[in-house]
Amino acid sequence: MNSKELFSQSSRLFPGGVNSPVRYYDPYPVFMKKGEGSRIYDVDDKSYTDFCLAFGPLILGHSHSEVIKAVRSAVENATSLGAPTENEIKLGNIIQTAVPSVEKMRFTNSGTEATMHALRLARGFTGRNIILKMEGGFHGSHDYALIKSGSGTLTFGVPSSRGIPEEVSRTVVVGQYNNPQSIEEIFKKYGKDIAAVITEPIMGNAGVIKPEKDFLGFLRDITSRNDSLLIFDEVITGFRFGFRCFQDIAGVKPDLTTMGKIIGGGFPIGLFGGRDDIMDKISPVGPVYESGTFSGNYVTMAAGIAALNQLRKMDYSSLEAKSSFFENTLAENMPEKEKFAVSRFGSMFQIFLGIDHPVSYEEVIKADSGKFMRMFHKLLERGVYLAPGQFETNFISFAHSKEELETSALKISETLKETGKA
């Protein structure tokens, strides 16, 4: 069955034919069946260079042999045990050693769960109700995160979802990333009611926006002065630029951190962790409830251990070199008349059309989404699979070869020459 036929079936089962809205694009998404290294294969056996990489977990590329081996061996023992296992300790130890701010942690099944529990914990710990998040910041799809959010909520024009009670939205205030003044004003107004500030240290769900000099340090300072907690959502950035989190690169220590994606080796995972005294407020030792049937799942843990043990041996500077080569090739070959910006940090990148280099959410949303999707479709024809949306992030993995990156960059520039005329 081809993608069109499969879509007509899936549309009868799932809203929009998909199980996550960011997978949908007009007129119907290509159905995939296999991934190998840097390549993804559709149901018609066409292969693509994959820059979406399952929205981020696959920094080693698809189906890394060590991860597959570990998963095979784990399922020989069990699928899920619903009891503590040594695998959880092994993965926990790796993370605790690599990310010093995470003194204690809890595994969850997704980044959404991780931020939901971290926010409840921040409220439970401080006894305050208000959460400050950044406009365009994405922390998953629970009520407290879906206020002026990013990712698919920008693409599909629902910055705040319907169905969120006003009582909830009144407890979330929104500041501007890279704009200390906007944060200061909020603290002046709500001061002692702010339980926590949550931010992605690098905005990755409104394209890629890097922190301007000392913005993260400023957040550390203002939260400490006001006895609020600082939460870094490192679901994307954890273990992406080195065997550590971005907080260690920035030199800013948050109180709590959330992670996901890479640490599960391609299996569903999330994590929240941080200061011992805060984490000890979690049940069963503390009064803040959190649970999950599949949390710390035996097979997921095995995949995560294998992926991180592999990553520990990898030379992240080679990934940076490849990514920078890709960015330069792209910039050198862009059609002259095209207004564009390649926003990149390490192996995360996005190509913004119609705008210059964005440093804020307000600038990002002026990008030409329609043109981006025309480019996306033409690239599919040429065998390049980008994340399907102007406000998503693309990823380069250790499995991408330099040749493949060069060919892809040239295909992108050729495509833009055509879409420019469209």
Q: Which residues bind ligand PMP (CB under 6 A)?
A: 55, 110-112, 115, 138-140, 200, 204-205, 233, 235-236, 260, 270
Distance CA 330, CA 349 (A): 11
CB of 277 vs ligand PMP, minimal distance in Å: 24
In the complex with ligand PMP, the residue whose CB is nearer, 206 or 222, is 206
Shortest spacing between CB 231 and ligand PMP, in angstroms: 11
Tell me which residue has its CB nearest to ligand PMP: 111
Q: How far is CA 380 from CA 38, 51, 154, 294, 376, in A?
A: 15, 11, 22, 36, 6
CB of 421 to ligand PMP, least distance (A): 34
Nearest-approach distance from CB 236 to ligand PMP, in angstroms = 5
Cis amide leading into 15 (omega within 30) = no
Of residues 95, 52, 135, 111, the one with CA closest to residue 301: 95
Please report where in the chains the tokens 């701010």 appear, as a residue.
101
Q: What does the DSSP 8-state code read for residue 113?
A: H
CB nearer to ligand PMP: give 49 or 205. 205
Residue placing its CB nearer to ligand PMP in the complex, 197 or 334: 197
CB of 245 to ligand PMP, least distance (A): 12
Q: Which is nearer to ligand PMP, 37 or 270 (CB)?
A: 270
Q: Per residue in 390-413, is it b (16+ CB within 10 Å) or e — as a string?
A: bbbbbbbbbbbeeebbebbbebbb
* Token digits of residue 281: 């407020």
**Residue 229 Cβ vs ligand PMP, minimum distance, rounded to whole Å:** 17
Q: Which is nearer to ligand PMP, 47 or 176 (CB)?
A: 176
Residues 6 or more apart in contact with residue 177 via CB below 8 angstroms: 134, 135, 136, 137, 199, 203, 209, 211, 215, 360, 361
Residue 282, amino acid: I
Give 85 or 115: the residue with its C-beta nearer to ligand PMP. 115
Q: What are φ and ψ of residue 25, in 5° steps? A: -150, 155
**Closest approach of ligand PMP to the CB of residue 264, in Å:** 9
Instruction: Please confirm whether the linkage preceding 180 is cis (ω < 30° from 0).
Output: no
Report in angstroms how near the CB of residue 139 gets to ligand PMP at its nearest: 5
Cβ proximity to ligand PMP, 37 vs 260, nearer residue: 260
Both tokens assigned to 273 = 């962790």
Task: Please return the burial class of 41, using the count of CB atoms within 10 Å of its CB with bins 0-12, 13-18 and 19+.
Answer: middle
In the complex with ligand PMP, which residue's Cβ is closer, 118 or 319? 118
Q: Which is nearer to ligand PMP, 16 or 383 (CB)?
A: 16
Give me the least distance between CB of 88 and ligand PMP, in Å please: 18
* Half-sphere exposure of residue 3: CA atoms within 13 angstroms, side-chain side: 17
Angle at 264 between CA 405 and CA 270, to 5 degrees: 115
